[in-house]
A and B are shown apart, each in its own frame.
Chain A
């Protein structure tokens, strides 16, 4: 069920490092207000900063309407934010990192997070860094989708590319 039309929300979820902040930046009109801080220890994936609360940005649909875009943090200890920010959202984009050693588990965890926000919330899946991960296989994702009886778009994207980030949102609009 959608919230008031004054508060149109789109969620981005996924584990740290998947590219949520980057994707939001790519599709938004305004630079996201980001709760990023420098990491104190070097991250294996080369990140130098991490989101410690959530990202927020806006997309002006027309002079009277704004789409609010929230990037929910991937850290487990910040999971509670989904219940505050998430209800009433239009849909969700789940971003995953192909180079993660726990890709399938990351996906499962994020889908469970979506279900806690709203069991009926529609979502699409984007996978980043597939071009940098030679061992990556879509079969991992397709097998997981079959086991969980999901029939959702699963796209390999570069979250830095606005066109590819928008492609995920377009796919989401087709499944709503």
Chain B
């Protein structure tokens, strides 16, 4: 194994019986085949990347609470006979080492994937303030803009400022503050554009720099405003699929043959505008479950005239 591709993980265990700890140890051994090297240690509050705890024991319960406070990923063996408790990541006490290995790998993978803290700049501001109902003033150097998330609009002094803002999407020097509206006409002289359209175009420019969203499932809560995104036909297709069912970036790329970084950029943009949301695993029966029926030949002919290729794998 090439050293640089091996992932080194420190796993703390707390409150596990000898027999369960042995199975966890075997599971960690199995993960070596996936280039994951796990150093197992009895957890005493020491630094760990992930914890495995048994809630049946006092030590395990204490470790679980500490993990929650420290925002550590944690896998839980729930109380014996307790099937209803809502732990985010439960392990089966009777599961063999192979099943435990799969659960560990899944947890390690989801913990490593990108979160909203991984992006900075104007995009990071948009993501973190996606639920904000107030106008936000964002500034960077000579560029000043008003983000109106709820309204789905972005306001600037000039069209060229929009272009400059797009070019500095991930720049970490953007400042943000709320801006109460004093006068309903104060924005009258500003250039107003779709926030969805701005974010999609800007993210596409930075597609190679955005962290991968990977295996998490997402779904559109509404169609994004694509009125001004006329140069990119793929965004219509992606929107059509994501509003029907939940998809991960990886599976979308496989199904649509659209480049992975373009899909990733689209997901980041729609996350930032509030159109996209994580899909709860309980709500998702099967990824990509609702595929559209094949279009009639008539619709295909109309689509061809408008520059679309609708066919067997169309959205």
Contact = CB atoms under 8 A, between A and B. Distances in A.
A8 B298 contact: yes
Contacts of A171: 223, 226, 236
Interface string B280-305: 00000000000000011011011111
Interface of B: 148, 150-153, 155, 184-185, 187-188, 190-194, 197, 222-223, 225-230, 233, 236-237, 239-240, 243, 295-296, 298-299, 301-308, 310, 315
Given A90-B302, A170-B308, A138 B151 contact: yes
A137 B153 contact: yes
B302 A152 contact: no
Given A156-B227, A164-B228, 10 more contacts: A61-B302, A131-B192, A136-B192, A151-B243, A161-B230, A164-B227, A167-B230, A173-B308, A174-B315, A176-B295
Given A136-B153, A137-B151, A157 B237 contact: no
Contact of B307 (A5, A136, A161, A166): A166
B225 A155 contact: yes
B193 A134 contact: no
16 contacts: A59-B305, A132-B192, A133-B192, A137-B153, A151-B243, A153-B226, A153-B239, A155-B223, A156-B197, A161-B230, A164-B227, A166-B307, A167-B230, A170-B233, A171-B236, A173-B299
Contacts of A136: 151, 153, 192
A156 B237 CA distance: 18
Nearest to A166: B306
A53 interface: no
A127 B155 CA distance: 17
Contacts of B184: 135
B192 A173 contact: no
Contact of B187 (A126, A134, A173): A134
B232 to A, nearest CB: 10
A157 B299 contact: no
B170 to A, nearest CB: 25
A173 B223 CA distance: 14
Contacts of B315: 174
Given A131-B193, A173-B310, A167 B302 contact: no
Nearest to A62: B301
A111 interface: no
Contact of A173 (B155, B239, B306): B306
B228 A153 contact: no
A25 B155 CA distance: 29
B222 A142 contact: yes
Given A154-B225, A157-B227, A134 B192 contact: yes
Dominant SS among interface residues on chain A: mixed
A111 to B, nearest CB: 16
B298 A5 contact: yes
A169 B306 contact: yes
Contacts of A132: 192
A174 B197 CA distance: 19
B236 A138 contact: no
Contact of B236 (A126, A152, A163, A174): A174
B243 A134 contact: no
Nearest to B243: A151
A139 to B, nearest CB: 5
A137 B150 contact: yes
Nearest to A173: B303
Given A139-B151, A164-B228, A170 B307 contact: yes
By Cβ-Cβ distance, the 8 closest A-B pairs, closest first, are A155-B227, A138-B152, A137-B151, A163-B230, A134-B187, A157-B227, A153-B223, A174-B240
Nearest to A139: B150
Nearest to A134: B187
B305 A174 contact: no
Contact of B194 (A5, A151, A156, A170): A156
A129 B151 CA distance: 15
A134 B155 CA distance: 9
A130 interface: yes
Nearest to B305: A61
Contact of A131 (B191, B243, B299, B305): B191
A134 B301 CA distance: 39
A173 B230 contact: no
Contact of B227 (A65, A90, A133, A168): A168
Contacts of A134: 155, 185, 187-188, 190, 192
A2 interface: yes
